[in-house]
Each structure stands twice: as C-alpha cells, then as structure tokens.
Amino acid sequence: MRGKFKQTVTELAEADDRVLVMLGDVSVYQFNQFRERWPERFYNMGILEPTLISVAAGLASQGLVPFVHTIAPFLTERCYEQIKLDLCYNRFGANLVTCGASFDYAWDGPTHHAYTDLAILRLLPGMEVIQPGSERELDALLRSQYANGHPTYFRLSDHPHAIDTGEVVFGKGSVICRGRRDVTVITAGPLLGEVVEAVRDLEVNLLSFHTLKPIDRALIAEFAHTRLLVVHDAFGLLEAVQELGGLRVWYHGLPDRFCGWYGQLQAIRQRLELDAAGIRRAVINLLDVAP
C-alpha cells in the first residue's frame, strides 16, 4: 500500500504544486524519485514526530498541502496534542499517513503495535479518519480528500485486500453481501479479506467501512433491525457504529491487554481469533444464539 501511496501522491504533486511530503525517516527509498524531482517539496525532516505535525500546521497555514508520513503509534499516540491543537483547533489541514497498522509490525512487539490510533483520532473535532482496506480505496480517498482543508488520517497497511468494494466514496460504507440471516457483520480495513472468507456460506450481511469518521450512519441504520457483530483488529469501529444508539451490537476484536507476541501478523491474528477460522467461529456462535 505504501507503493500506491507514493504513486498517488506523486501524481497529485504533478498537478498541484502545493503538495509536499514530510517523512520521519520512514519509507525514504519509496520517495527517491519524488525527492529528485521536487527537492523543495520533499523533507525527510527527522525523527521528531510532534514537530512534524507542528511544522505541517505552519506549512498549511500558508496554503501548502503537506503529507506527513511515519509509523502509526509515533505519529498518532505520541503526537495527539499536536494533532488536537496545531491541526484541529487551528483548523490547519494536513494529511497524516501512517504505516504499521495494528500488528503489521508484529515482530517488533507492543511498542510498534498500533490499535488505538483510529479510536483516539475519531474524538477530535474536524478530523477525518480513513482506514483503506485496498489500494483502490486508498487511491480514491487520497484524491478526494487530500486538499479539503481538514486534517485527514490515512492508515496504510502492508497487507491490503484486493476485494472490489464497489464505488469508493468518502463517508460511505460498502455492502459486500446480503444474507437471509438476521446477523450483520461489520468490519473495516484490510481485515475484510479474512472476514469475507470466514462468512462466505453463512448467509449473513457483511458491511465494510473505509471511513471511520464520519461513519456512514445511514448504512448502519439500514441494518439496525439485525444483530450487529463488529469484527475489527483495532479500536474505533465499534465506537463509531455505536454512535447510532439503540443497536444490538457484539464485538469480536481486541482484548484489554497488550498483545505481547512477536512473529508475523497472521500468527497474532490467529491467537486473537481474528483469522478467518476464528472470525467464522465468532459469527457461528452469534448465529447459534437465539435472536
């Protein structure tokens, strides 16, 4: 997904000379050509994430359109106050683009795992929160949102799915399938790949959301008469769905403890029952409960 990010931003930069890239010494090789072509619009500024955000705010104040990119926990959890005040409160727009979603850096342990970013950024007034599941979703949403004056968060993953989720429109969820059972599975981001495999013959409804803020309330309302099972490998989607209130919602996701394993993403998903087999068990368990 980082390759697509680079490609789309490069194309945006060709057409819009306000675009510039700021890195926290991450993904530097991806942007070699960008740097050579536009040296005054490329800044591998240093490993100082809070200042990346503050500087981006200052750049935006003068009409430029920064893309700030580094690893998710450092750009979001460490910089929460800079995002809150320098971007949101001041209403200076910038694009925050991270890698290392959830357990993408499984082997690095809890210092590099990132699962609160979506939830905490949703709380900030004016913030847009996007978790693209595929490169196609990323491309469309970068193009539609990059210069709209809002701070926008794009959470990249090294494990995107390749499912066609239909027309990609900011703030709109996708109906992946409709079933005859009264259970609707709701997910977001790359995990959709596991969920599709898990529910393929279970006759449930399946919704996917690339935009967590604003959440597509109308789509959730359409399925509010069913039991909703939120399946997500991060915090934030459950809270977004529950904005509607009055729903019957279950959560199959993360525990309230650090996931102190290493290895590969798939091993952690398996341990958390967030691989296709674990998700399938959770859906069947809910189906087995009388409505």
Partner 1 sequence: MNETCRKIRADILSISHTSGHGHIPTCFSVVEALYAIYRVMRHRPEEPLWSERDLFVLSKGHAALGHYCTLAACGYFPIEAVAAFGAFDSRFGCHADRFKVPGVEASTGSLGHGIGVAVGMALALKIQRSDRRVFTLVGDGEANEGTVWEAVMVAVDQRLDRLTILYDHNKSQRRCLQIPNPAERFRAFGCTVSEVDGHDLQALETALTRSVDRPHVVVLDTIKGHGCQTLCEEVFAWHRRSPDSATLTRLMEELHAG
Residues at the interface with partner 1 (CB under 8 A): 20, 40-41, 43, 45-46, 48, 50-51, 53-64, 81-82, 85-86, 89-91
Least distance to partner 1 from the beta carbon of 40, Å? Answer: 6
| Residue 67, both tokens | 């893309």
Residue 231 phi/psi, 5-degree rounding, is -120, 115
Least distance to partner 1 from the beta carbon of 35, Å? Answer: 14
Nearest to 273 by CA among 230, 227, 231: 231
Least distance to partner 1 from the beta carbon of 51, Å? Answer: 4
Task: Compare residues 54 and 165 and give the one whose CB is closer to partner 1.
Answer: 54
Task: Compare residues 91 and 217 and give the one whose CB is closer to partner 1.
Answer: 91
Task: Compare residues 16 and 81 and give the one whose CB is closer to partner 1.
Answer: 81
Task: Compare residues 66 and 253 and give the one whose CB is closer to partner 1.
Answer: 66
Least distance to partner 1 from the beta carbon of 270, Å? Answer: 40
Hey, what's the torsion of the CAs at 145, 79, 35, 102, to 10 degrees?
-70
Residue 275 phi/psi, 5-degree rounding, is -85, 175
Least distance to partner 1 from the beta carbon of 72, Å? Answer: 20
Task: Compare residues 57 and 206 and give the one whose CB is closer to partner 1.
Answer: 57
Residue with tokens 């991060």: 234
